[in-house]
Amino acid sequence: SKMFKFTGGEPCMNPLLEEELKIVKQKGGIVFLDTNGSMNNIIKNLLEKKLIDVLGVSLKGLTKGEALRTSGIMNEKLCWENVIDTIKNALTYSNVRVIVTYVAYDNFNYNDLLNFAKILNKFGKGVYLKINNLCGNVHRDENIKAIDGSKLKNMIMKFTEENEEWKKRVILINTSDAVTDYSKILFF
């Protein structure tokens, strides 16, 4: 394969990350960096050096409060402000595809999806919206649960029908199989 995904934990904590990305790029590979976005200065440096082709950023909440609660990070700057700065900065690079992920759980509904899109609309049309249904029941908060997969799929289909600008820019990971099997990823 020519695509290499660097993920984690948090890949930006790897002191050898830049060297590893350089090796992939020197060999003609494509780099997908999947990050929580909190280490925006490191990501900015990697973007400036053209070492990232696809940047996946996890938005841990639709508000600062939710991000604090679900991320387990008790620093607003790390779990919200730096993430927003990472997204904004990445979108200034025309050679980088930016995918912003939100994990849907419990009572996630159509209005939440609209709010997620509203947050991303502030960044312009270059960003992709990705929803991960809470896969498995593994999360630091044992009280949150995945939502019904068919309900989530129908919600996204309705959303893309009603919001033309999002067609071909919405991705759904609805089962844990989709994490390792590309054919299980849904694109809208």
User: In this predicted model, which residue has the larger pLDDT, 89 or 8?
Assistant: 89
Q: Are strands 30-35 and 97-104 parallel, antiparallel or unpaired?
A: unpaired
Q: Give the Cα separation of 107 and 60 in Å (integer).
A: 15
Q: What is the pLDDT of residue 141?
A: 65
> Nearest 5°: phi and psi at 128?
-105, 140
Residues 6+ apart with CB under 8 A from 110: 155, 158, 159
Q: What is the mean pLDDT of residues 8-17?
A: 94
Q: Around 186, how many Cα atoms within 13 Å sit in the side-chain half-sphere?
A: 18
Q: What's the pLDDT at 3? A: 92
**How high is the pLDDT of residue 40?**
95
pTM reported for the whole predicted model: 0.92
Q: What is the pLDDT of residues 124-175, one digit of tens each?
A: 888 999 999 987 555 556 777 889 999 999 999 999 999 999 999 999 999 8
Answer whether residue 31 shows pLDDT above 80. yes
- What local confidence, expressed as pLDDT, does residue 30 receive? 98
Give the mean pLDDT of 109-129.
94
Q: Which pLDDT belongs to residue 136?
A: 58
> For position 134, what pLDDT does the model report?
85
